[in-house]
Structure 1
Amino acid sequence: MYIEAILLGVIIGLARNGRLSNFFEVRFKGWGLSILAFLLFLVPYGLKLFDITYEKLQIFPFAAMVICGVIALLNFEKNGMKILLVGILLNLIAMGLNDFRMPMDTVKMANLGFNSFVESMKNGDVINYIPLTDAQGFSKYLGKIIALPNAYPFAKVLSIGDFIVSLGIVFIIQYEMLLSSLKSRGSMIQFTYNSRLRK
């Protein structure tokens, strides 16, 4: 879903006469933390690779998401970051209430053809998800319960937080693509205005 959100953001940005190069010129605060988040997400796989056992492996993906929330908070003034942060917080709440694991509707996952993934969940091989039936309290409403249509090429089960995060990504990309262009136009207008005053 996040890849689709990125592509949609780029398409909307281009349709609004924005430039992709403008987005790459944007300086996000705390961007280096994203590297740490990525490494934390990979920690469980690295530990399993070296046969290192740890009871709470799921805390590493949770910590990675917390860092993503921190990055969104550091860039709170940017358009779309508030939406992104809300989505992240909803996912964090769902995971925090379930021992740092995200509840997932295994029936809907199986209907979409992810039977092997569901079996891996039941066997405990998937560390950061639990069946929706094991979710605590209202967290079951924040879990991955929304199934995309089978006709969709990348059909999967998403949470409300996932949708909000994706919406935030779309807003951020298309706005930053356009914002840099608007700043450039504003500078040109100001330069022209000042030049006329001097004459």
Structure 2
Amino acid sequence: MLIEMVIISIISLIILMIRKRKTVILSKIDIEIKGYKIIIIMAIIEITAQFLFKRFNNSNLLQILSLNWLIYLGILIIAIINIKKHYMKIFLIGTLLNFIAIITNNFKMPVLVSESLLNYKANILFLKSGQDLVHSLLTDATHFKILCDIITLPPPYPFVKAISIGDVFLLIGVFIFWQETFGNKERENA
């Protein structure tokens, strides 16, 4: 979902430039997010876990790596600490929705693999194999299906995938983050 966050950030910045009729200078923003280091640490843990999982997926130590879902606890903590910011309220909602889907489904996010995808059979086999650290195949036994990755982003979107309602909230939060960050900067300078 990192790619989608980058895309939404770019779209948000373009909209800001059109609205304000001037160039947005990223180096001039001062972002105040209390506890942001927790997110950085959690992201490093998740990236490390995914890297190790791909390299050593037959090891019994991989059960520890499945704790990568702890990044959601980090996001929850940061969102609560910074709850006065509008975008953090939206991050909190998105994180809670994803967290519910993950903890109720063996700590993996179930994915609905759409038949509209070019290689959907290969995706189903991959998810069934357990080789994905963070995802599993959505089945009849899946809990809270509505909160799982059920929204397919089909072609012509270049990074075809499924996202969840929680992901949608997180992406809206990213969009609002940029709008509020630069909007507040403009109001302070006026």
1:78 to 72, 82, 85: 85
Aligned to 1:150: 155
Check if 1:173 corresponds to 2:187: no
Aligned to 1:9: 12
1:57–1:127 CA contact under 8 A, matched in 2: no
**Aligned residue type for 1:9:** S
Q: 1:23 to 1:113 in 2, by over 3 A?
A: farther
**Aligned residue type for 1:104:** V
2:33 to 28, 33, 50: 28
**More relative contact order, 1 or 2 (CA 8 Å, 6+ apart):** 1
* Partner SS, residue 60 of structure 2: coil
The Cα shift of 1:5 comes to 1.6
2:29–2:185 CA contact under 8 A, matched in 1: no
Aligned to 1:37: 42
- Residues 87-145 of structure 1: CA distance to partner in whole angstroms, max 9, x if unpaired? 11100000010111111112x1x5323444433211111121111115433x1111011
Distance in 2 between residues matched to 1:132 and 1:67, nearest whole Å: 26
Distance in 2 between residues matched to 1:22 and 1:43, nearest whole Å: 29
Larger Rg: 1
Deviates more, 1:158-167 or 1:61-70: 61-70
**Aligned residue type for 1:7:** I
The Cα shift of 1:43 comes to 3.4
Check if 1:93 corresponds to 2:96: no
Q: TM-score when scaled to structure 2?
A: 0.83
- Residues 38-97 of structure 1: CA distance to partner in whole angstroms, max 9, x if unpaired? 122023235443674335356422101221222222221112111111011100000010
- Residues 19-40 of structure 1: CA distance to partner in whole angstroms, max 9, x if unpaired? 3437741121111112211122
Distance in 1 between residues matched to 2:85 and 2:72, nearest whole Å: 19
Q: How many residues align?
A: 182
* Partner SS, residue 127 of structure 1: coil
**Aligned residue type for 2:81:** L
The Cα shift of 1:170 comes to 0.2
Distance in 2 between residues matched to 1:23 and 1:140, nearest whole Å: 42
Q: 1:184 to 1:38 in 2, by over 3 A?
A: same
Distance in 2 between residues matched to 1:144 and 1:58, nearest whole Å: 21
Aligned to 1:194: none
Distance in 2 between residues matched to 1:135 and 1:15, nearest whole Å: 47
Distance in 1 between residues matched to 2:89 and 2:182, nearest whole Å: 18
Q: Which runs of 5+ in 2 are unaligned?
A: none
Aligned to 1:188: none
Overall identity of the aligned pairs, in %: 27
In angstroms, what is the RMSD of aligned CA positions? 2.3
1:123 to 105, 129, 134: 129
